[in-house]
Amino acid sequence: MSERIVGYKPLHRAFHWLVALLVLATIPVGVTMVSEDISRSVQDALFIFHKNVGVVILLLMLARLAYRLVNPPPPLPDSVPRWQASVAHATHWLLYLLVFVMAISGYIRVVAGGFPLEVFDAIGVPRLAPRSDELAETAKGIHFYVRFALVVLILMHVGAALFHAIVKRDGVFSSMVTGRPRA
């Protein structure tokens, strides 16, 4: 860890906030779209949104991971205890993993289930999984259960960010919001 810490680069921040916005949008849509209390036309629109945004999230995450591997994020300030830095590091990688698991399992559920991916089908993107009811059901189960762990990790991440913003005021939060160097 270093004494003078730089903020996150603009592309780091853009990937973070865009993926966060899309993931946070897909969670309530995913819950609502399977409700029996909404009209079929609303349900269809929500399914189309959820499926297609899920593929966008997957593509953004692939780009984000590649960018992160080439451009590591700035280290945490020295004031962050080593155990907290380790937890933060593990949480970030688990978030990446679970977002990938959700996007891939959702994609496989749709494609193996024989459902359309309207936007991607229209531009001729090939399907990367075979049609299989068994595979679709397995992916559906993974997608269903992993969402709980993802929501817990998101809440932990948001809680830690707010702790740094409100309690610690150590620049960790502001470096992701503004990109300004941490003090």
What was the pLDDT predicted at 182?
53
pLDDT tops 90 at residue 5: no
| One-letter identity of residue 133 | D
What was the pLDDT predicted at 174?
85
The neighbouring-strand residues paired with 182 are 5
Going by pLDDT thresholds of 50, 70 and 90, the confidence category of residue 75 is: confident
Q: What is the percent of the chain where pLDDT is above 70? A: 95
**pTM score, two decimals?**
0.90
Under 8 Å between Cβ of 28 and 38: no
User: Residues 6 or more apart from 139 whose CB is under 8 A from it?
Assistant: 105, 106, 108, 109, 112
Q: What would the pLDDT profile of 19-28 be if each residue is shown by its tens digit?
A: 999 999 999 9
| One-letter identity of residue 13 | R
What was the pLDDT predicted at 1?
41
CB atoms inside a 10 Å sphere around CB 40: 7
State the first-to-last Cα distance of the chain, in angstroms, to the nearest integer: 13
pLDDT tops 70 at residue 3: no
Under 8 Å between Cβ of 87 and 157: no
Q: What is the percent of the chain where pLDDT is above 90? A: 74
Question: Mean of the pLDDT values across residues 132-149?
Answer: 97
If you write DSSP's letter for every residue of 81-104 in order, what string do you get?
-HHHHHHHHHHHHHHHHHHHHHHH
Tokens 């966008």 belong to 56
Q: What would the pLDDT profile of 33-67 be if each residue is shown by its tens digit?
A: 999 999 999 999 999 999 999 999 999 999 999 99
| One-letter identity of residue 151 | V
Listed in sequence order, the DSSP H helices in 34-81 are 40-70
| Sheet strands (E) in the chain | none
Under 8 Å between Cβ of 99 and 61: yes
What was the pLDDT predicted at 112?
97
Of 42-46, 145-149, 154-158, 179-183, minimum mean pLDDT range: 179-183
User: Residues 6 or more apart from 84 whose CB is under 8 A from it?
Assistant: 76
